[in-house]
């Protein structure tokens, strides 16, 4: 029996598994001839792009409801290491799994610096982290009155930090209002850069700044964080900001498993892959999602986001199966790069191109963001035919989900 192993149960992993099954079954190769196994430390597909929102516990879909209908075996375990020479992975639980082709899709993890009190900072990188933040926010009215009780400091003014900060304004007000304390809500966005939304074109950044002003989000820019405590943060210039809520949104790093593979890496630790998402030094291993620095249009590499993870998964799974079956491999071709940034009750911003130029803002952009978050990133459940249809990299789901996220 031929074996395809997918490590990781995020967007890239799920679509890799589905695409591999689609190609095999479409060529009359049965489950007894070619098996697909997905190994994940989670029993759910976590909708990570939505964890900045309220009710984060609902932002997940059981992997079994997605993949069981197409015969993918799901193993709930944490991959500890990869042995490319033996074509085998090891798990924290003591198990091992052989493969003929491996798709590495274990994603990325939030990078936390070594700072005094960093353990006091919340995050929205995982469901557990987002749930802890949500519980903390709902406990605030019970805390003794203090200058920073309803103040939140968000560290990092990039994509995640902006979505967290703008959403927190309304989340905190909704919690504080029943107690007559909505006027005490303060959100501060902190970043070492001199501008928010670094990397966005000036026209898009102007819309983002206007939204922050509309919501009353304050900014402290060009300054670093020195320490965190339960009562606030201390900045490198000696300033202390009173805040009972601190959220770290300072960037991610590739999962440690990428280090087990001999390959060039980029500044984020992502594996260099060819146009078929195959690692050059170990051709039996494909990589997708946040672990892979795949080429994209205009001489760029993909971003660490679901808009690239989803199509990468489809191509990687297809190519892993095609490689085993002696079929032509498909070169990765992502849709044109676009971003839709949520700005809370101030709307949203949509950008086009790698310079992130403004395409649309306000309520119209917000409707697109709602569709992205509530419809387009969700895979079909309990529906083998529809899952396999969408697993074809040439087919979009309801709209081109790879173009907006």
In 3D space, the residue among 9, 249, 15 whose CA is nearest the CA of residue 107 turns out to be 9
Residue 122 in any domain: the answer is: yes
* In a shared domain, residues 125 and 242: yes
DSSP classification of residue 181: -
Q: Does an H or E element contain 2, and which?
A: strand 2-7
Q: Please tell me the predicted confidence (pLDDT) of residue 264.
A: 82
* In a shared domain, residues 149 and 220: yes
* In a shared domain, residues 35 and 140: no
* In a shared domain, residues 237 and 124: yes
> What are 215's two structure tokens?
């919501």
Q: Model confidence over 120-169: pLDDT tens digits?
A: 999 999 999 999 999 999 999 999 999 999 999 999 999 999 999 999 99
> What are 147's two structure tokens?
């200058």
CA distance 229 to 240: 10
302, 336, 370 - which closes a domain: 336
Q: Model confidence over 242-280: pLDDT tens digits?
A: 999 999 998 788 878 877 887 788 888 889 999 999 998
* In a shared domain, residues 187 and 225: yes
336, 371, 396 - which closes a domain: 336
List, in order, residues 6 or more apart from 203 with CB less than 8 Å away. Answer: 357, 358
* In a shared domain, residues 209 and 142: yes
* In a shared domain, residues 130 and 231: yes
* In a shared domain, residues 259 and 306: yes
Q: Please tell me the predicted confidence (pLDDT) of residue 127.
A: 96
Of 40-49, 56-65, 98-107, 390-399, least confident by mean pLDDT is 390-399
CA distance 231 to 241: 8
> What are 44's two structure tokens?
């759910």
pLDDT of 401 > 50? The answer is no
231, 248, 265 - which closes a domain: 248
* In a shared domain, residues 224 and 238: yes
β-sheet bridge partners, residue 186: 151
Confidence of residue 402 (pLDDT cuts 50, 70, 90): very low
Residue 367 in any domain: the answer is: no
Residue 362 in any domain: the answer is: no
DSSP classification of residue 89: E
Residue 298 in any domain: the answer is: yes
Contact 107, 261 (CB under 8 A): no
Q: 133: domain range?
A: 118-248
Contact 327, 309 (CB under 8 A): no
Contact 14, 38 (CB under 8 A): yes
Residue 164 in any domain: the answer is: yes
* In a shared domain, residues 124 and 167: yes
Quick one: average pLDDT of 74-88?
95
Q: Please tell me the predicted confidence (pLDDT) of residue 396.
A: 58
b/e per residue 356-382 (b: at least 16 CB within 10 A)? bebbbbbeebbebbebbbeebbebbbe
* In a shared domain, residues 198 and 319: no
Q: At residue 145, what are phi and psi to the nearest 5 degrees?
A: -60, 135
For residue 156, count other CB atoms closer than 10 A to its CB. Answer: 23
Q: Model confidence over 53-65: pLDDT tens digits?
A: 999 999 999 999 9
Residue 404 in any domain: the answer is: no
β-sheet bridge partners, residue 273: 279
Q: What is the CATH number of the domain that holds 146?
A: 3.50.50.60
List, in order, residues 6 or more apart from 393 with CB less than 8 Å away. Answer: 19, 311, 314, 315, 318, 330
> What are 42's two structure tokens?
């989670």
* In a shared domain, residues 12 and 37: yes
β-sheet bridge partners, residue 28: none
Q: At residue 210, what are phi and psi to the nearest 5 degrees?
A: -60, -40
Structural domains in the chain (count): 2
> What are 25's two structure tokens?
């079954």
pLDDT of 83 > 90? The answer is yes
Residue 371 in any domain: the answer is: no
pLDDT of 40 > 70? The answer is yes
pLDDT of 28 > 80? The answer is yes
Which three-class secondary structure string do you get for 190-249? EECCCCCCCCCCHHHHHHHHHHHHHHCCEEEECCCEEEEECCEEEECCCCEEECCEEEEC
Quick one: average pLDDT of 194-211?
97
DSSP string, 363-375: HHHHHHHHHIIII
> What are 264's two structure tokens?
């060039």
Residue 397 in any domain: the answer is: no
CA distance 271 to 258: 7
3-state SS class at 264: coil
End-to-end CA distance of the chain: 38
Q: At residue 13, what are phi and psi to the nearest 5 degrees?
A: -65, -45
The structure's pTM equals 0.93
Confidence of residue 111 (pLDDT cuts 50, 70, 90): confident
């Amino acid at each position: 029996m031929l074996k395809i192993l997918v490590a990781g149960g995020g967007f890239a992993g799920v679509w890799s598994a589905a695409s591999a099954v689609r190609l095999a079954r479409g060529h009359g190769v049965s489950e007894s001839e070619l098996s697909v196994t997905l190994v994940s430390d989670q029993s759910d597909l976590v909708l990570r792009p939505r964890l900045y929102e309220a009710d984060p516990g609902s932002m997940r879909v059981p992997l079994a409801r997605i993949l069981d209908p197409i015969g993918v075996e799901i193993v709930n375990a944490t991959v500890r290491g990869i042995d490319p020479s033996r074509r085998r992975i090891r798990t924290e639980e003591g198990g091992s799994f052989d493969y003929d082709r491996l798709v590495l899709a274990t994603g990325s993890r939030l990078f936390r610096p070594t700072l005094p009190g960093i353990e006091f900072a919340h995050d929205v990188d995982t469901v557990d982290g987002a749930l802890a933040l949500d519980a903390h926010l709902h406990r605030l009215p019970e805390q003794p009155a203090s200058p920073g009780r309803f103040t939140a400091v968000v560290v990092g003014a990039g994509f995640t930090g902006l979505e967290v900060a703008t959403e927190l304004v309304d989340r905190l007000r909704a919690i504080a209002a029943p107690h007559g304390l909505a006027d005490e809500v303060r959100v501060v966005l902190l970043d070492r850069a001199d501008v928010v939304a670094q990397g966005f074109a000036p026209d898009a950044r102007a819309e983002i700044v206007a939204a922050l002003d509309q919501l009353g989000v304050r900014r402290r820019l060009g300054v670093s964080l020195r320490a965190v405590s339960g009562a606030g943060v201390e900045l490198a210039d000696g300033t202390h900001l009173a805040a009972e809520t601190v959220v770290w949104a300072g960037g991610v790093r590739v999962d440690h498993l990428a280090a087990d593979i001999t390959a060039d890496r980029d500044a984020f630790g992502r594996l260099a892959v060819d146009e078929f998402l195959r690692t050059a030094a170990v051709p039996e291993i494909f990589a997708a999602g946040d672990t892979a620095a795949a080429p994209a249009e205009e001489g760029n590499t993909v971003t660490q986001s679901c808009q690239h993870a989803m199509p990468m998964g489809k191509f990687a799974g297809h190519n892993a199966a095609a490689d085993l079956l002696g079929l032509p491999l498909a070169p990765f071709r992502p849709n044109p790069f676009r971003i839709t940034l949520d700005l809370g009750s101030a709307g949203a911003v949509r950008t086009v191109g790698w310079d992130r130029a403004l395409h649309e803002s306000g309520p119209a952009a917000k409707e697109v963001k709602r569709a992205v978050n509530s419809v387009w990133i969700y895979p079909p459940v309990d529906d083998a035919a529809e899952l396999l249809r969408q697993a074809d990299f040439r087919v979009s789901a309801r709209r081109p989900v790879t173009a907006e996220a």
